[in-house]
Amino acid sequence: MEIRYTAQILTYGQFRSIWNLTRPTLSLGFSQAVFYLLPLTNGLWSSGDYDQSLGGASPEMTEKLLYEGKAKKIFLTESEDELLVFYKDDATAFNGAKKGQIESKGQLNNAISSVFFELLETAGVRSHFLKKTGSNTMLVKKLEIIPLEVVVRNIAAGSLSQRLGWPEGRVLDEPIVEFYYKDDALGDPLINNNHIAALKLASPCDLAFLEEEAKKIDRILSAYLLARRVRLVDFKLEFGRHKGQILLGDEISPDTCRFWDAETNKKLDKDRFRQDLGEVTEAYQEIYNRLTCQAVQKYRALVKVRLKDSVLDPQGEAILRSLSSLGLEDFQSIRVGKLIDISVVGENEREVSHKVKKLSDDLLANPNMEKYSFTVEPVK
Ligand code: ADP
Ligand code: AIR
Ligand code: ASP
């Protein structure tokens, strides 16, 4: 008979201790690792059917649950270097004080994080992401997580607004990078370089790398999102060590970022859950849709509308008469028109031209009397 294991919820501290304890044993192979793990985990592991604990995961998933957090479950895999991350619909806020469920969140966050990790990989940011393996799951490299939450802010919101009294929405001159000590029991307090050194969380050199990497990620994500009409207000990253390298870990999703619609500033992230704003799943879905649609960019369209040649132009005639009374006889004909200057967003010149043509046909030019021409060019 096959013995299966399921884990009760561990605190982060317990998780880290187990982590550190299992790390050397994992190299012995999985069955031995579990054997070594049992006495060390102080009864945290018990036999049972872990499929029930997956909350909708595919039944073929036979990995062992290592840790259950507030938003994800982490499973061991056949490979000692890799973990399977299962994204849950569970949502918490204010350090777990507020609890709930967001329908389809697990699938959406898994899909959104996968898009971001792939984007970052192509831009030269190394992460734990290996591949998306199912609707709620991704395979990642196992990290020894550095217990720091690295927050980057472009626009004041959340705890920054509270701490400094800055109004939500104030655009910051430069991105601000902050470090929080990842410790649920302490409520993830804000800490500085000296605290990080005292806690021996990262060397000055590693810390400088984390800050630079976080800023680089901010630049890549901000540009990608803006092209999809989303403002990246702020976000939280986690990093970890893997074979002597520091890699980006955890997730990048509406649970861990603030996203605002670029035109309306509508919140498209977990603040909708935190602040009971409603339409939470819809917001997460909207972010997924924006990420997977083509980038949009700004264009300037100039539409010239003129009377058709066969139509009399009294205004043009009047100007012509005044010119000849001034003795300016060289002007032979004058036709007056209008120039309409338009700023428009779209995926490409062809698509924008199509939109401008429709606008001109429907609204700008009277088809009985007027004709039009236009130019479209991208705004740098
Ligand atoms: P929390 O632990 O804050 O409740 P989650 O529910 O998101 O958060 O749980 C996921 C946990 O897995 C987090 O503690 C995170 O630090 C950790 N983690 C993320 N990526 C990796 C990785 N590649 N290797 C090991 N641990 C990871
Ligand atoms: N964050 C911080 N801890 C957990 C998370 N998810 C994220 C928030 C927000 C940013 O970090 O989702 O995008 C800053 O959060 P706050 O509360 O400090 O303003
Ligand atoms: N992630 C933290 C929690 O689950 C903080 C937050 O997102 O508000 O409570």
83 occurs within a structural domain: no
Say if residue 100 is in the same domain as residue 129.
yes
286 occurs within a structural domain: yes
Which pLDDT belongs to residue 63?
66
Say if residue 258 is in the same domain as residue 366.
no
Cα–Cα distances in Å, from 295 out to 230, 233, 345? Answer: 11, 19, 10
pLDDT band at 379 (very low <50, low <70, confident <90, very high): very high
Mean pLDDT score, 134-138:
98
Sheet of strand 245-248: strand arrangement: 144-145, 239-242, 245-248
246 occurs within a structural domain: yes
Say if residue 179 is in the same domain as residue 325.
no
336 occurs within a structural domain: yes
Cα distance between residue 67 and residue 77, in whole Å: 13
Residue pointed to by tokens 């909350």 = 55
Say if residue 116 is in the same domain as residue 165.
yes
131 occurs within a structural domain: yes
Ligand 2: residue of 70, 72, 98, 151 to mutate (most ligand atoms within 8 A of CB) is 151
Say if residue 12 is in the same domain as residue 134.
no
Instruction: Indicate the helix (H) or strand (E) that contains 39.
Output: helix 30-40
DSSP for 101-127, written as a single string: E-TTHHHHHHHHHHHHHHHHHHTT--B
Positive/negative CA dihedral, 247, 250, 251, 254: negative
If you measure from the C-alpha of residue 14 to the centroid of ligand 2, how many angstroms do you get, rounded to a whole number?
Answer: 23
Say if residue 147 is in the same domain as residue 277.
yes
The number of beta carbons lying within 10 Å of the beta carbon of residue 79 is 13
Query: Rounded to the nearest 5°, which phi and psi values hold at 317?
Result: -60, -45
Say if residue 260 is in the same domain as residue 116.
yes
Say if residue 203 is in the same domain as residue 111.
yes
Cα–Cα distances in Å, from 197 out to 193, 203, 204, 206, 239? Answer: 6, 7, 7, 11, 17
Read off the amino acid at residue 296: V
Say if residue 26 is in the same domain as residue 97.
no
Say if residue 112 is in the same domain as residue 168.
yes
Ligand 3: residue of 12, 90, 94 to mutate (most ligand atoms within 8 A of CB) is 94
**At 263, is the secondary structure helix, strand, or coil?**
coil
Ligand nearest to the CA of 71: 1
Q: Which CATH number fits the domain that encloses residue 322?
A: 3.30.1280.10
Ligand nearest to the CA of 273: 3
Ligand 3: residue of 70, 88, 95, 284 to mutate (most ligand atoms within 8 A of CB) is 95
Residue 226: closest CA among 113, 345, 142, 79: 345
Say if residue 141 is in the same domain as residue 270.
yes
* CA 100 distance to own-chain centroid: 21
25 occurs within a structural domain: yes
**H-state helical runs in 193-307:** 193-198, 204-226, 271-274, 280-292
118 occurs within a structural domain: yes
Which domain, by its residues, includes 351? 297-378
Does the beta carbon of 250 sit less than 6 angstroms from any atom of ligand 1?
A: yes
Instruction: Indicate the helix (H) or strand (E) that contains 87.
Output: strand 82-87
Q: Is the pLDDT of residue 37 over 90?
A: no
User: Among 239, 267, 292, where does a domain finish?
Assistant: 292
| 45 beta partners | 7
pLDDT band at 108 (very low <50, low <70, confident <90, very high): very high
Q: Which CATH number fits the domain that encloses residue 171?
A: 3.30.470.20
Indicate which residue's Cα is closest to atom 7 of ligand 3: 93
User: Among 292, 320, 341, where does a domain finish?
Assistant: 292
If you measure from the C-alpha of residue 376 to the centroid of ligand 2, how many angstroms do you get, rounded to a whole number?
Answer: 40
User: Among 263, 292, 321, where does a domain finish?
Assistant: 292
Residue pointed to by tokens 């901010």 = 218
Q: What is the pLDDT of residues 286-341, one digit of tens each?
A: 999 999 998 888 999 999 999 999 999 999 999 999 998 999 889 999 999 999 99
* Contact by Cβ (8 Å): 156, 170: yes
80 occurs within a structural domain: no
Cα–Cα distances in Å, from 314 out to 86, 257, 318, 324, 333? Answer: 73, 60, 6, 15, 12
Q: What is the pLDDT of residues 178-194, one digit of tens each?
A: 999 999 999 999 999 99
Say if residue 284 is in the same domain as residue 351.
no
The count of structural domains within the chain is: 3
Which pLDDT belongs to residue 13?
38
